[in-house]
Chain A
């Protein structure tokens, strides 16, 4: 089977300017590669500033990549122009984190959902019925048709955003922290709706989140990001059962477990330091200053390659690669 999306060596550097001159580069995304199969959810986790959101937006060309190749359904996205770009814009969608700023406050739900449909010239016999059907499939109903965003709760707004995406029948959706602004009871609801829609329509998702529990629940495969690089990629089950990279291990040991008994038994690892600035990342492996297993002379000098340690499970760490 062909992947829906293939990302190879994606880079995005932002210039840091001072007195009209570029004095440094923020390497937000620095050589990221992965693929997403049809109907698959690929989770991307990491702490703030690791580049997960920039990755999502660069893939959709909401931000132009500095370097790298993005292949969507066999076509190179970075080269698309005009009509072809429009085709891409329709079939690859995004759902944002903040439901309060992602909907136009002056438009009714009907208009919000119909705008992209009209823009892409999709023929609809009865727009009202079309929108009602969409609303119903995300758990809203016709009563909501002519209301404005301020009349809805955060969870309901995310549902409106979902209906809008659904209207275009995309193949691939970037979900950028879609439930971070919501309460847990509402979060569960949205996550289940996302899963159901995936089953029904065969969507592929890139699921970006800092919440490991949510990523585990949603993803088939996942990648762990640290300072612009993927440090571990593999099936979600395997990464949680057998995390290989010391950063993944630290992350797993740091998340609080909602079960007092498991929490007491949990293997604890000393968590030290804070993520450094991506302007001047540490040399070699970016994680080495915080890594309890760092080898002097190797980890602080040379960058580790991403190697396959067990089937489909890749790690970028000198513990597993030959120098």
Chain B
């Protein structure tokens, strides 16, 4: 039986804007198991980034976590609801036991400090080193670990002196500086070229093995999911629609949205006769459709789908779907 490291329960985040209340995610529940790479996939605006940020309360005004629990299992076996922690308390965990890697390496780094200082600072604030000097000295090893050539000199570089791929390596270095137990990577390769993307994914996999960490990978790229994740959570319009292992999701997708999404992606190695597109567009989350949020675009929609919100049901071991057809 896999042990969970984080259990997300009925999480809802709303954004209170002038146009109305945007229900960015509603009633999102899933577990992240220890040691796995879990992919959170979906299209723009489906709530995958909001979900990942809400785990450590990284939601800024006008956003608000209105409901839910994030149960975090500590190393000693005790559990804590991260959403109930004070700002101080959560800061001790964020960047330390739970670390983030964001999409854009250009904006995740401070242009005014050397990369060594920035890695050292991450260690210093969590008391892993006594002072920044020791931190910078340790940063050399971290740069070596993220495969940056000539780390002794690179540690003195400013972000603008590095290429996009190198910068993302530094960002990953900051992420793993404190040996996190859970690494949340939000579209870590979207801003990079494919050959660089392949190297960064490889590096993430290696670091995960080495530190025995758990990875939550947020991406819209189904290829990246198939190559790096063990399990997948599919989101649509702020809701979880399907959860399963990569093989279950790719070879036996149950939710009509997952099926449609897979048929819309051209596979460069497979035979492509015709791509199927999903009619309509992603709904507006201020007034999301009633019932199942996918029903206006679903070829199987019936009366029930328009009224009742489908619940997640386990169809086969480990394979959950929220659809009235099952």
Instruction: Please give, as numbers and ranges, the residues of chain B lying within 8 Å of A294 by CB-CB distance.
Output: none
In the assembled complex, the CB of A318 is this many whole angstroms from the nearest CB of chain B, namely 21
Instruction: Please give, as numbers and ranges, the residues of chain A lying within 8 Å of B125 by CB-CB distance.
Output: none
Instruction: Please give, as numbers and ranges, the residues of chain B lying within 8 Å of A256 by CB-CB distance.
Output: 197-198, 201, 221, 223-224, 226-228
> Does any Cβ of B come within 8 Å of A2's Cβ?
no
Instruction: Please give, as numbers and ranges, the residues of chain B lying within 8 Å of A22 by CB-CB distance.
Output: none
Report how far A213 CA is from B269 CA in the complex, Å: 8
In the assembled complex, the CB of B257 is this many whole angstroms from the nearest CB of chain A, namely 9
Looking at chain B, what size class is its interface with the partner chain? 35 or more
> Does any Cβ of A come within 8 Å of B19's Cβ?
no
Secondary structure type dominating chain A contacts = helix
Report how far A185 CA is from B44 CA in the complex, Å: 11
For window 199-252 of A, CB contacts with B under 8 Å fall at 210-214, 216-217, 240, 250-252
The one of A189, A213, A253, A258 that contacts B262, using a Cβ cutoff of 8 Å: A258
Q: Is the CB of B194 within 8 A of A217?
A: no
Instruction: Please give, as numbers and ranges, the residues of chain A lying within 8 Å of B251 by CB-CB distance.
Output: 260-261
For window 167-224 of A, CB contacts with B under 8 Å fall at 183-189, 191-192, 210-214, 216-217
Q: Is the CB of B266 within 8 A of A217?
A: yes
Q: Is the CB of A257 within 8 A of B268?
A: yes
Return the CB mask of B37-72 against A: 1 if under 8 Å, else 0: 000000110000000000000000000000000000
Instruction: Please give, as numbers and ranges, the residues of chain A lying within 8 Å of B202 by CB-CB distance.
Output: 271
Q: Is the CB of B266 within 8 A of A213?
A: yes
Q: Is the CB of B266 within 8 A of A185?
A: no
> Does any Cβ of A come within 8 Å of B101's Cβ?
no
> Does any Cβ of B come within 8 Å of A141's Cβ?
no
> Does any Cβ of A come within 8 Å of B261's Cβ?
yes
Instruction: Please give, as numbers and ranges, the residues of chain A lying within 8 Å of B281 by CB-CB distance.
Output: 153, 155-156, 186
The one of A156, A186, A261, A274 that contacts B195, using a Cβ cutoff of 8 Å: A274
In the assembled complex, the CB of B21 is this many whole angstroms from the nearest CB of chain A, namely 21
> Does any Cβ of B come within 8 Å of A296's Cβ?
no
> Does any Cβ of B come within 8 Å of A254's Cβ?
yes
In the assembled complex, the CB of B105 is this many whole angstroms from the nearest CB of chain A, namely 13
Known A-B contacts A250-B195, A251-B194, A257-B227; the reply to A185 vs B277 at CB < 8 A is yes
In the assembled complex, the CB of B272 is this many whole angstroms from the nearest CB of chain A, namely 5
The one of A210, A216, A260, A274 that contacts B250, using a Cβ cutoff of 8 Å: A260
In the assembled complex, the CB of A316 is this many whole angstroms from the nearest CB of chain B, namely 18
In the complex formed, the residue of B with least CB distance to A193 is: B277
For window 198-222 of B, CB contacts with A under 8 Å fall at 198-199, 201-202, 220-222
> Does any Cβ of B come within 8 Å of A31's Cβ?
no
In the assembled complex, the CB of B165 is this many whole angstroms from the nearest CB of chain A, namely 5
> Does any Cβ of A come within 8 Å of B22's Cβ?
no
Instruction: Please give, as numbers and ranges, the residues of chain B lying within 8 Å of A308 by CB-CB distance.
Output: none
In the complex formed, the residue of A with least CB distance to B281 is: A153
The one of A210, A258, A266 that contacts B193, using a Cβ cutoff of 8 Å: A210
Q: Is the CB of B267 within 8 A of A214?
A: no
Q: Which residues on A are within 8 Å of B, measured CB to CB?
A: 47-48, 153, 155-156, 183-189, 191-192, 210-214, 216-217, 240, 250-263, 266, 271-275
Q: Which residues on B are within 8 Å of A, measured CB to CB?
A: 43-44, 163, 165-166, 193-199, 201-202, 220-228, 246-247, 250-251, 260-270, 272, 274-278, 281-282
Known A-B contacts: A186-B281, A212-B194. Give 9 more (CB < 8 A): A213-B223, A213-B267, A254-B197, A256-B197, A256-B221, A260-B227, A260-B250, A260-B251, A271-B198
Q: Can you identify 15 A-B contacts, CB atoms within 8 angstroms?
A: A183-B44, A185-B43, A189-B277, A192-B275, A213-B223, A217-B272, A251-B195, A254-B194, A256-B221, A256-B228, A257-B268, A258-B250, A261-B251, A272-B199, A274-B196
